[in-house]
Amino acid sequence: MNVKPLFDLVIVRREKSEEVTPGGLIIPPTAQKNSTVGYVVAVGPGRILENGLRVVPEVKVGDKIIIGEWSGQEIDIDGEKCLIMKEELINGVVEK
């Protein structure tokens, strides 16, 4: 299933959170924190200003980004949990 976000919305796939501590202890799923790093899966065309001009998104598909732990709305795309959020909720882009 292809999902195309509208306006300034972005679909993000979170990076897997740590399941084992450096000491080898297994962290149960209920105690794992949400990862604050993710990858952009899809980007909308940008929001439209009152004067009719479109603001082009700064992120692109494949960008590694930093997001808040509780940012976005969780959605299910082909059995994979992703987030859909406004671009303004993205805190930064990790440059290679």
What pLDDT does residue 53 have? 93
Has residue 92 got a pLDDT over 80?
A: yes
Domains of the chain are 1-15+33-57+72-86 (2.30.33.40)
What pLDDT does residue 21 have? 65
38-56 pLDDT, tens digit each: 999 999 999 999 999 999 9
| Closest to 74 measured CA to CA, from 7, 14, 1 | 14
- Sorting pLDDT into bands at 50, 70 and 90, what band is 78? confident
